[in-house]
């Protein structure tokens, strides 16, 4: 089911390389594990949909993320899943995502990994994260702003507000970006849901002091993301590593489990283009990393050309607006609904529909 590698001289489990361990590509014992998982949590936790028939969250692909994270050990996967559901309920994550203030959401989005609007060779979304923007002045201003997040959600007071805002971005990944990539079936395994992303992390121009100042925030964010959004990462490509980065890496890698560590590639300038192009078509790779795509960190996604064949805009919309969006399942198509609050007024707009071209 999986392979092994050496991490610091210790043999460790490696992730289930796509599509192994994903829906439609399970071994018999993995099928049995999924069936047992569903049977044991269906009372009270697992649900096949919600009142709005939201597309892309509670489904078998979600459960498989937890199973892969726990090497298909059903009891361990159940424990992590239930802890996540309790955390989501305690912090009303669904309500947070759908009622967060759009200005605060955008303030957070500008600081963290951003979707390019494109996909890798497997159909997974490609994100870019330019770390040098997180200087002490920017982070200080953000932490002051994030003391209070305007939303109708209540929190457990254990998760910092600045991290809850960050997890609103994770919700966007799993409730907007991944479902959209799933319905685009011009890929090798068109019936396999997309549940992971590839990330280019650009650390050029980042000083040792900046890494040190960011360490606590990044450690907390990594810990919670690993606990509550397992197996949403396919690869991280670190670009522009300074000469002192081995020192930084020695303490950063302690934040991750061996599976996550095995997904992180530190690329030299000489290796960058060839390595990235082995995962991402040049047309979908930003120019600054050796590709052909006109995309700069901070701008809106440059939408995949494949969308034009299946997407129909509603009303006056010609692009996806800023802020939270989720998909509603309408049978033969999905419908994008933009939510959030603007000046304390609820936004709920139908943006577009996307036609399904393969059974999912």
pLDDT in tens, 136-178: 999 999 989 988 889 999 999 888 888 899 999 999 999 999 9
* Residue 358 confidence (pLDDT): 67
**Token pair of 73 as six digits:** 């050990």
Residue with the larger pLDDT of the pair 214 and 116: 116
How far apart are the C-alpha atoms of 182 and 194, rounded to whole Å? Answer: 5
Can you spell out the DSSP letters for 28-54? HHHHHHHHHHHHHHTTTT--S--TT-E
Percent of the chain residues topping a pLDDT of 70: 91
Query: Cis ω on the peptide bond leading into residue 80 (within 30° of 0)?
Result: no
Per-residue pLDDT at 6: 36
pLDDT surpassing 80 at residue 267: yes
Q: List, for residues 225-237, the tens digit of each pLDDT value.
A: 999 999 999 999 9
One DSSP character per residue, 149-204 reads: ---S----SSS-HHHHHHHHHHHHIIIIIHHHHHH---SSSTTSPP--EEEEEE-T
Mean pLDDT of 72-89: 96
Over the chain, what is the mean pLDDT? Answer: 90
Q: Is the dihedral of CA 340, 179, 19, 73 positive or negative?
A: positive
Which tokens hold the place of 207?
């000083």
Whole-angstrom distance, CA of residue 282 vs CA of residue 120:
10
CB 238 within 8 A of CB 266: yes
CA angle 266, 271, 272 (to 5 degrees): 70
Quick check: 218 and 184 in contact, CB under 8 A? no
Q: pLDDT band at 56, cuts 50/70/90?
A: low
Q: Which of 54-68, 87-101, 187-201, 306-320 has the lowest mean pLDDT?
A: 54-68
Q: Which tens digit of pLDDT belongs to each residue from 22-44?
A: 999 999 999 999 999 999 988 65
Closest CA to 318 of 308, 328, 309: 308
What pLDDT digit, counting tens, does each position of 313-332 carry?
Answer: 999 999 999 999 999 999 89
Question: CA separation (Å) from 141 to 128, 135, 214?
Answer: 22, 10, 14
User: Per the confidence metrics, is the pTM higher than 0.75?
Assistant: yes
Identify the CA nearest to 72 among candidates 26, 116, 113: 26
User: What was the pLDDT predicted at 57?
Assistant: 67
Q: Which of 126, 293, 134 is nearest to 203 (CA)?
A: 134
pLDDT attached to residue 45:
59
């Amino acid at each position: 089911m999986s392979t092994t590698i050496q991490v610091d001289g210790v043999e460790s489990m490696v992730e289930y390389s796509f599509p192994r361990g994903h829906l439609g590509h399970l071994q018999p014992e993995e099928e049995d594990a999924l069936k047992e998982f569903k049977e044991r949590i269906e009372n009270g936790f697992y649900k096949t949909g919600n009142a709005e028939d939201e597309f892309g969250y509670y489904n078998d692909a979600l459960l498989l993320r937890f199973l892969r994270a726990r090497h298909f050990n059903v009891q361990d996967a159940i424990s992590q899943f239930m802890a996540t559901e309790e955390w989501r309920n305690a912090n009303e994550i669904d309500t947070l995502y759908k009622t967060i203030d759009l200005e605060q959401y955008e303030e957070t989005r500008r600081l963290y990994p951003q979707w390019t609007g494109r996909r890798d060779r497997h159909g997974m979304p490609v994100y870019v994260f330019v770390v040098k923007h997180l200087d002490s002045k920017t982070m200080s201003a953000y932490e002051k702003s994030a003391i209070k997040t305007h939303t109708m959600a209540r929190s457990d007071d254990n998760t910092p507000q600045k991290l809850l805002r960050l997890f609103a971005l994770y919700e966007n990944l799993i409730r907007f970006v991944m479902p959209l990539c799933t319905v685009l079936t011009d890929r090798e395994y068109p019936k396999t849901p997309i549940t992971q992303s590839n990330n280019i992390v650009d650390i050029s121009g980042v000083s040792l002091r900046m890494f040190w100042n960011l360490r606590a925030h990044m450690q907390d964010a990594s810990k919670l993301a690993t606990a509550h959004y397992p197996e949403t990462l396919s690869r991280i490509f670190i670009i522009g590593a300074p000469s002192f980065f081995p020192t930084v890496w020695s303490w950063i890698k302690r934040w991750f489990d061996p599976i996550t560590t095995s997904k992180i590639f530190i690329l030299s300038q000489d290796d960058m283009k060839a390595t990235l192009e082995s995962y991402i078509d040049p047309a979908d790779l930003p120019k600054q990393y050796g590709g052909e795509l006109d995309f700069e960190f901070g701008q809106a996604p440059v939408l995949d050309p494949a969308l034009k064949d299946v997407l129909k805009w509603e009303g006056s919309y010609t692009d996806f607006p800023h802020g939270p969006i989720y998909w509603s399942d309408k049978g033969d198509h999905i419908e994008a609904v933009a939510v959030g609050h603007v000046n304390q007024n609820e936004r709920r707009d139908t943006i577009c529909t996307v036609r399904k071209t393969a059974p999912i």
